[in-house]
Amino acid sequence: MTELDPVIHAQARLRVVASLSALPDCDQVAFPRLQEILGMTAGNLSVHLRRLEEAGYVAVTKTHRGRTPATLIALTRRGRLAFEEYTEAIRALLAPADTKETP
C-alpha cells in the first residue's frame, strides 16, 4: 500500500485543497471568500495555507484591488495532481479486496 500524502492527509488541509479544486483552472479565490466557504478562522486558514504553500501545492498572490490589498489563492498544477493522486489512493483503499494482497 502506498503512503498517503501527509500534507493533504489532514482534515483541514484536505478541505482546503478540495475546495480549491472546485475552482476552474486558472482562477484564484480571494482569502475572505475561501475562509467563508470553509468556515475557518483567518489564523487557522493562514497556518494551513502556509503549509500547503511550502509543499508547492498552493500559490498565494498578494495584489491590490483599487487601493485595498487582496490575497488571492489557487491550487498549483502540482497541488491539483497531488489531490488527484490522494483521491485515487483513497478510492483504491475502498475498492473490493481483490485488488489488495491476499495471504
Query: Which residues contact other proteins (rule: CB under 8 A)?
Result: 4, 9-12, 14-15, 18-30, 32-33, 36-38, 41, 44, 47, 63, 72, 74, 87, 90-91, 93-94
**C-alpha cell read off for 68:** 485595498
Q: Is the dihedral of CA 18, 19, 24, 30 positive or negative?
A: negative
Nearest approach in angstroms of CB 46 to other proteins is 11
For residue 90, how many other CB atoms are within 10 A of its CB? Answer: 14
Nearest approach in angstroms of CB 85 to other proteins is 13
- The conformational region for residue 11 under phi > 0 = left, psi -120 to 50 = alpha, else beta, is alpha
| 57, 7 Cβ separation under 8 angstroms | yes
Nearest approach in angstroms of CB 1 to other proteins is 11
